[in-house]
Amino acid sequence: MNTNQSLVENSVKSLEDVFMAMVKNIDERNVNPLEDRFHKNYSDHVHVKGTDSVICANKESYLQSLRDGKLGGVERKVQINSSSILDHFGIVNAELRSAVMKFQTQYSFVWEGGDWKLIHALVAAEKV
């Protein structure tokens, strides 16, 4: 294994570790650790199957929804389908599933200040 391959593998592992910790914090509605994990320009786009609309949120509205109990609070099983690094960006494609919802997701992170920050989430949600 060459040095560059090792660096990429370490980066992918750190990206996946950050992703898994974020999911756990969201599921448990632990907002404090998430404050610094979301990039200041975070946005998400969510489509719920069976509807015609796309729901959008920014960092503040997402975290407030967690505080208000509108999001999170249910443990989800996570299957990471793929993860990759593109320069200072990390991308995680995953399926998250709870007893009531299934989410096909793509999360985009940016490497900033020596850490991964979530900058965008694209989510296709479906009731189970």
Domain ranges of the chain: 3-127
**Given 2.30.40.10, 3.40.30.10, 3.40.190.10, 3.10.450.50, which CATH number is that of 3-127?**
3.10.450.50
Q: Are 27 and 74 in contact (CB under 8 A)?
A: yes
> What's the pTM?
0.91
pLDDT, tens digit only, all 128 positions of the chain = 444 554 455 699 999 999 999 999 999 999 999 999 999 999 999 999 999 999 999 999 999 999 999 999 999 999 999 999 999 999 999 999 999 999 999 999 999 988 999 999 999 999 99
E strand intervals along the chain:
38-48, 54-58, 77-86, 89-97, 101-112, 115-127
Evaluated on CA atoms 77, 102, 111, 35, the torsion sign reads: negative
